[in-house]
Amino acid sequence: MLQGYKGKLLHIDLSQQTHKTVPIPEEILTKYIGGRGLGAKLYWDLIPSETDPLDPENVFMVLTGPLGGTMAPGSGKHLIITKSPASGGWLESYSSGRMTPEIKFAGYDGLIITGKAKSPSSLVIKDDKVEFLDATHLWGKGSFETETYVRKNFHPECGCLSIGPAGENLIPFACVGSDFFRKAGRGGAGAVMGSKNLKYIAVKGTGGINCADMEGLYKLIFKHQKRCKFKIITPMTLSLTNTAGMLPTRNFSRGQFKKAIGNIDKDRVIDFTVRDRACYACFGGCASITQVKEGIFKDLKIEGPEYETLALLGANLEIDYLPAIMKANYLCDDLGMDTISAGGVIGFAMECYERGILTKEDTGGLELNFGNYMAVVELLELIAHKKGFGAFCAKGVKEMARLLGHNTEEFAIQCKGLEFPAYDPRAGWGTTITYSVTPRGACHRRAWPPAVEIMTGANPFIIEGKAEIVRGLMTQRCIMHSLLVCDMIGTRMQLTANDWAKYFNVVTGFNYSGNDLKNHAEIVETMIRRINIREGFNFKDDMLPKRIIEESLPDGPAAGKIIGNDNFLKMRTEYYLCRGWDSEGIPTQEIIDKYGFNTEPIMRI
Amino acid sequence: MGNRVLTIQSEKCTGCHMCELACSSVKEGEFIPSHSRIRVATNGLEGWSRPTVCLQCEDAMCLAACPTGAIFKTKTQQGDTLVAVDQEKCTDCGACVDACPFGALDFNNELKAIKCDLCGGSPKCVDFCFYGCLNFIELSDEAYQTRTKNIKALALKASKEINKLNPYKRRIAFSLEASKVASVSNDSKGKK
């Protein structure tokens, strides 16, 4: 028996109200490890390409990794794998909280949820007991009220995933909440739960997790904790991106927002901070509880806001009033919406409004000028409930642009239906690769090129070598996402693949090398590429909006510099080739054979 | 030696639960927080967490309640005051769990009472508390006496509620005050 793992998944069929355990063959675990890797294998085997994301046949998976539930730093992450309502293809969305440890303590490596409940329902899992409970009384309620109910009526210290009205209303950027303020935000996983009539999932486990070499694990923890003594919070990123000219401002039409400094940056967030928080099993402690002391949002208390929220619901909307961003953050969390996409959607709507493409008549009286934070607060509620103008915004920028016409798709800042995170690729060209080729759509967490282009002085405005840089960064992240540890603390600890192999080995008893893990990452990236190709994607979908490729930013270090289509395509093709795919991004037969995709066992449920 | 106590500065708790994982790993040989001797209660919406662990009371109510004499006062190998359980004598009657006003005792799988034994004088939870919430420090005689007095007063207060609250609710209700029984300077980093 492998240590660390539980060796089985819990399959729950909501239509039949049945459940059973599904063993995972050791061969699959050693090849796919867990988290993203295992998710790729399960997606390939279990989700047919003809299935619509909101069909009962779509599979909603909550996965853990071998390190989950142990003391390995940052291992309190869980991963949702499903077909994306935003893109129609592969979706992986990470969050933290109590879910992963509780799933493991309950005796599973993950949950696989299929079917659709007849009426609003919930799943309550305590060790080997699974209950299907009515959730009609919670339908329409926010995530906070739902989770409060669960903690009061089931267990105060359980893992709990829940959706708000946005998920119920099938919005393609609805998130799945966990531990109140933690969100699997991107790609619309909340809408998949909503489509299954599943309001919440609560898990409590009382069992334990073995570890092959406990003393070895202790030693690694002490060694690496020493590298993380200073508190680092994501709002620190804001002054960095502002200086680099990549802070999205006015719907990505500018790269700097001068009013951000001193108003919505890390110093201001620290002023508002009343307490530090950490994820389960992490010594990084990067979360902050903040509270508004005065003004119209007085006494509002949230966990956050993080950088992405400050940038997209702040700078991108030209809002420099921190309490308003916190209010928007609170609303998104409670209503169950991704703050990144919500900021992208409203930014796009504001630009259309200021250009006259949308009028006050269209918006139902909302004055959607940049900076009007009261309109943002109002609009977020309308979006989540699909009311009035909110119903239009609830479609996401890609669909909004398609419906509006007027060439608005040129500044609809998205890729594969997923709105951009808060780094303008024009101020660091490596990001064009990550945003375009990341399987779930525009994403900053599969690789973070600013780490190289901004922080170590590599030239951000050249194309040479960027594909290899991105591939290397993606490999590191893929290893962390399969072991399922947080890439924030993982990056802070400056761990190499060899270091991660040590964590993996002390917990599981395997004997992996860093190169084995790097090879694993290649297998997984190729597997996910195959998934999206099977879903009907091709290189034409790995495209960025015209504003990003053919226009320059007016300010900052990137002022006047245009990436240009040729440069972009060159970087993208280089990336495909260095993965062992052909120039159109299709994995070659040679590599498919090399990775043994056609000779491995098939997972069935 | 002899006045060392495990102190809790609950405002520094971040809710990482490393203490529970460390405790169960050293006591049970696996990560099994349901058997941890230290328990963290969390309120994510209000944004706080607080650990509860045995205060090693001078006048221990669990000891007084135990009908078989399984709970007794002793010293750790390193000479620290300890309230301990003799597993041989424990009959799983639950009297100690009911009696502890702070909810610091529990039962394990074999239905024996389990509680913090300070890991013989080197508590593992403290080693793995990276936020300075848990410390194991030597108090002056005077400070130790004050702590004993404070615990007594708090135990008295808490016992009035004892029938109304299960151990979890006792932990929620009294963990904040229990963390203040010994005055610890805010910059105390203990042994780290």
CATH topology of domain A234-402: 1.10.569
Contacts of A221 in chain B (CB under 8 A): 128
pLDDT band at B185 (very low <50, low <70, confident <90, very high): low
Give how far B145 is from chain A: nearest CA, Å: 31
Q: Is B118 exposed, middle or buried (0-12, 13-18, 19+ CB in 10 A)?
A: buried
Name the minimum distance, in Å, from the CA of A29 to any CA of chain B: 21
What is the spatial distance between Cα A135 and Cα A462, in angstroms, rounded to a whole number? Answer: 54
Residues in A touching B34 (Cβ below 8 Å): 105, 205-208
Instruction: Residue A341: name the closest of A383, A311, A312 by CA.
Output: A312
Q: Does A390 touch chain B (CB under 8 A)?
A: no
A213 touches chain B (CB under 8 A): no
Q: How far apart are CA A90 and CA B29, in angstroms?
A: 39
- pLDDT tens digits, one per residue of A43-63: 999 999 999 999 999 999 999
What is Dmax (Cα atoms) for chain B? 43
Q: Is the pLDDT of residue A480 over 50?
A: yes
| Cα A524 from Cα A146, distance rounded (Å) | 35
Is A180–B130 a contact, with Cβ atoms under 8 angstroms apart? no
Nearest CB neighbour to A281, from listed B11, B12, B16? B16
Q: For residue B35, what are the CA distances in angstroms to A13, A446, B89?
A: 32, 37, 20
Residue B69, number of CB atoms within 10 A of its CB: 9
> Is A545 in contact with A413 (CB distance < 8 Å)?
yes
Range A563-571 average pLDDT: 98
Query: Average pLDDT, stretch A550-559?
Result: 97
Cross-chain Cβ contact A214/B130 below 8 Å: no
Q: Does A225 touch chain B (CB under 8 A)?
A: yes
Answer yes or no: is B186 within a domain: no
pLDDT above 80 for B184: no
Contact A224, A71 (CB under 8 A): no
Q: Do residues A159 and A101 lie in contact, with contact meaning Cβ atoms separated by under 8 Å?
A: yes
User: For residue B22, what is the nearest residue in chain A, using CA coordinates?
Assistant: A71
Nearest to A81 by CA among A3, A135, A9, A157: A9
Query: In this structure, are residues A531 and A45 in contact, taking their beta carbons and an 8 Å threshold?
Result: no
Alpha-carbon span A303 to A276, nearest angstrom: 9
Give contacts of A107 with chain B, Cβ < 8 Å.
Answer: none
Q: How confident is the model at residue A1 (pLDDT cuts 50, 70, 90)?
A: low
- Whether the CB of A105 is below 8 Å from some CB of chain B: the reply is yes
Which residue segment(s) compose the domain that B150 sits in? 4-178
Q: Do B131 and A281 touch (CB under 8 A)?
A: no
Q: Is residue B192 part of a domain?
A: no
Per-residue pLDDT at B189 exceeds 60: no
Return the pLDDT at B45: 94
Does residue B30 lie within any of the structural domains? Answer: yes
**pLDDT given at position B186:** 54
Is residue B190 in a domain?
no
Q: What percent of chain A has pLDDT over 70?
A: 100
Rounded to an integer, what distance in angstroms lies between the CA atom of residue A408 and that of residue A401?
5
Per-residue pLDDT reduced to its tens digit, B71-115: 999 999 999 999 999 999 999 899 999 999 999 998 877 778 999
Point out the least confidently predicted range of A145-149, A264-268, A333-337, A455-459.
A455-459
Q: Which residues of A touch B28 (CB under 8 A)?
A: 208
Residues of B in contact with A282 (CB under 8 A): 16
Chain A residues within 8 A of B21 when measuring between CB atoms: 70-71, 281
A147 interfaces chain B, CB cutoff of 8 Å: yes
Q: How far apart are CA A296 and CA A40, in angstroms?
A: 46
A431-449 pLDDT, tens digit per residue, is 999 999 999 999 999 999 9
Domain residue limits, chain A:
8-204, 234-402, 425-594
Mean pLDDT over A396-424 rounds to 98
> Cα(A175)–Cα(A93) distance, rounded to whole angstroms?
9
Q: How far apart are CA B37 and CA B102, in angstroms?
A: 13
For B39, nearest residue in chain A (alpha carbons): A157
Give the position of tokens 């996983």.
A189
- Contact at CB, A71 and B18, closer than 8 angstroms: yes
Residues A378, A383, A389, A392, Cα dihedral to 10°: 160
Buried b / exposed e along B127-157 (16+ C-beta atoms within 10 A): bbbbbbbbbbbebeeebbeebbebbeebbee
From A147's Cα to the closest Cα of chain B, the distance in A is 9
**Interface contact flag, B47 A147, Cβ < 8 Å:** no
Arithmetic mean of pLDDT over chain A: 97
ipTM of the complex: 0.95
Residue A339 confidence (pLDDT) above 70: yes
On whether the CB atoms of residues B41 and B49 are closer than 8 A, the answer is yes
Give the per-residue pLDDT at B71: 97
Q: What's residue B190's pLDDT?
A: 42
Residue A282 pLDDT: 96
**Confidence class for position B182, pLDDT limits 50, 70, 90:** confident
Q: What is the crossing angle of helices A466-483 and A430-437, to 10°?
A: 50
What CATH number should be reported for the domain whose range is A425-594? 1.10.599.10
pLDDT at B191: 38
A69 and B31 within 8 Å at the Cβ level: the answer is: yes
Task: Please tell me the predicted confidence (pLDDT) of residue A230.
Answer: 86
Residue B187 belongs to some domain of the structure: no
- Is pLDDT at A33 greater than 60 in this prediction? yes
Number of CB pairs, chain A paired with chain B, less than 8 A apart: 91
Alpha helices by DSSP H, listed for A96-211, are: 99-105, 143-153, 165-168, 189-195
B184 belongs to a structural domain: no
The predicted-structure confidence for A489-544, as pLDDT tens digits, reads as follows 999 999 999 999 999 999 999 999 999 999 999 999 999 999 999 999 999 999 99
CA-based diameter of chain A, in Å?
A: 67
Asked if the Cβ–Cβ distance from A278 to B16 is below 8 Å, we say yes
- What pairing do the DSSP bridges indicate for beta strands A121-126 and B39-43? unpaired
Residue length of chain B: 192
- CATH H-level, domain A8-204: superfamily: Aldehyde ferredoxin oxidoreductase, N-terminal domain (3.60.9.10)
Distance to chain B for A98, nearest Cα, Å: 10
Interface test with A, best of B109, B130, B171 (most A CBs within 10 A): B130
Structural domain count of chain B: 1
- Quote the CA–CA distance of A230 and A284 in Å, as a whole number: 8
- The answer to whether the CB atoms of B28 and A208 lie below 8 A apart is yes
Average pLDDT over chain B reads: 91
Could you read off the pLDDT of A5-29 as tens digits, one per residue?
Answer: 999 999 999 999 999 999 999 999 9
Test B14 with A281 for CB contact under 8 angstroms: no
Q: Cβ contacts of residue A170 below 8 Å, gap of 6+?
A: A54, A85, A191, A194, A195
Across A191-216, average pLDDT: 98
Q: Is residue B143 included in any domain, yes or no?
A: yes
Residue A209 and residue B47: Cβ atoms within 8 Å? no
User: Which of the four pLDDT bands, split at 50, 70 and 90, describes residue A32?
Assistant: very high
- Residues from chain A contacting residue B168 (CB–CB below 8 Å): 156
Residue A582, pLDDT score: 97
**C-alpha distance across the termini of chain B, in Å:** 18
Q: Are strands A176-178 and A182-184 parallel, antiparallel or unpaired?
A: antiparallel
pLDDT in tens, B4-32: 999 999 999 999 999 999 999 999 999 99
Residue B31 to residue A209, Cβ atoms within 8 A? yes
A207/B32 touch (CB, cutoff 8 Å), yes or no: yes
Q: Which two tokens stand for residue A394?
A: 């609830």
